[in-house]
Amino acid sequence: MSRRSRREWRIILWISLASAAISAYFGQAVAPVDEPPLHGVVQGILTSLLIATPITFFEVRRARINSLTWMRRLPLAGYFLVKVAFYCVVIVGGLVVARLLMSIGARQFVIFDPIFRNSVFFAIGMSVVGNLIIETGRLLGFGTLKNLLLGRYARPRRERKAFLLIDMKDSTGLAEKLGAIRFHELLNTFFRDIADAAMECDAEIHKYVGDEVILTWPAGPALEAGDCLACPFLAHQNIARNAAHYRDRFGAVPEFRAALHCGEIVAGEIGDVRREIAYVGDTLNVAARLLEASKALAHDVLVSADLLAMVRLPPDLRIEPLPTLSIRGRDAPLEIAGLSLGVGQDKV
Residue 105, pLDDT > 90, answer no
User: Tell me: domain 157-341, CATH 3.30.70.1230, correct?
Assistant: yes
Domain with CATH 3.30.70.1230 in the chain: 157-341
- Three-class HEC string of the chain: CCHHHHHHHHHHHHHHHHHHHHHHHHHHHHCCCCCCHHHHHHHHHHHHHHHHHHHHHHHHHHHHCHHHHHHHHCCHHHHHHHHHHHHHHHHHHHHHHHHHHHCCCCCCCCCCCHHHHHHHHHHHHHHHHHHHHHHHHHHHCHHHHHHHHHCCCCCCEEEEEEEEEEEECCHHHHHHHHCHHHHHHHHHHHHHHHHHHHHHCCCEEEEEECCEEEEEEECCHHHHCCHHHHHHHHHHHHHHHCHHHHHHHHCCCCCEEEEEEEEEEEEEEECCCCCEEEEECHHHHHHHHHHHHHHHHCCCEEEEHHHHCCCCCCCCEEEEEEEEECCCCCCCCEEEEEEEECCCCCCC
**To the nearest whole percent, how much of the chain has pLDDT over 90?**
20
End-to-end CA distance of the chain: 25
Q: What is the model's pLDDT at position 344?
A: 45
Residue 261 has pLDDT above 90, yes or no: yes
Is the confidence at residue 296, as pLDDT, over 70?
Answer: yes
| Residues belonging to the chain | 348
- Mean pLDDT over residues 1-19, rounded? 79
Closest residue by Cα to residue 268 from 113, 155, 130: 155
At residue 111, the pLDDT reads: 60
- Please give the share of the chain, as a percent, with pLDDT higher than 70: 84
Distance, CA of 231 to CA of 327 (rounded, Å): 25
Mean pLDDT value across residues 35-48: 83
pTM listed for this prediction: 0.69
- pLDDT average, residue stretch 200-229: 86
The mean pLDDT value for 337-348 works out to 68
